[in-house]
Amino acid sequence: MQTEYLPNIISVFNQYRTLAKLTIFQLDEDDFFYKPDSESNSVAIIMRHVAGNMISRRTNFLTTDGEKPDHNRDVDFEQGYLAMRKLMHHWEHGWQVFINKLQSLKPNDLQKTIYIRSKAHSVMEAINRQLAHYSYHIGQMVFLTKHIKNIDTMAFGRKSLSIPKGKSQDFNNEKMGK
């Protein structure tokens, strides 16, 4: 199972990365900074937070606590304007650090103990925790983008990001070759 886990989990993370990328392509620069209310996060804030988390959690993660002293999580959630070029670079760098570290793991690393905020986790447990965390935030990005663009089903070209309302049967028939 441990041998199959790593390629599978990397594939799942890459699916979420693609969903985020397709979502980002729907937005104009101003859209990245839209917040529905003062307590909500913008897509830009979510991206900055996720990228910062990826870098912090995966830098020297087998030997140091995942919450690095140079990562100020609270700053991730400040609305301040971050130039799009810099935001996209930070986002891509976070994914690169994260995926590269996952690809470097060996099956026997999964049972090793690491620390996040001084709390012990197995590497597998920490990866699962990150999957839940990142999928949550990418879902927020998709939801915000649908709200911003006032669209029912987001599409990139002709490819839907999800099954459109009322189209489940069409999707099932297509999968079954009907």
C-alpha distances out from residue 149 to 40, 146, 156, 159, Å: 17, 5, 13, 17
What is the per-residue pLDDT for 157? 45
pLDDT at residue 171, as a whole number: 55
**Segments making up each domain of the chain, as ranges:** 2-175
Host H or E run for residue 99: helix 84-104
Full-model pTM: 0.81
Question: Is 1's pLDDT higher than 70?
Answer: no
Range with lowest mean pLDDT among 14-28, 78-92, 123-137: 78-92
Q: How far is CA 178 from the centre of its chain?
A: 34
The alpha carbon of 35 is separated from its chain's Cα centroid by a whole number of angstroms, namely 19
Residues 143-152, mean pLDDT to the nearest whole number? 81
Q: 5-14, 15-24, 28-37, 147-156 — which is least confidently predicted?
A: 147-156
Query: Among 11-25, 72-86, 119-133, which stretch is predicted with the lowest mean pLDDT?
Result: 72-86
Query: 61 or 24: which carries more pLDDT confidence?
Result: 24
What's the pLDDT band for 56 if we cut at 50, 70, 90? confident
For the domain covering 2-175, report its CATH number: 1.20.120.450
Report whether pLDDT(97) > 80: yes
How many CA atoms within 13 Å lie on the side-chain side of 169?
Answer: 1
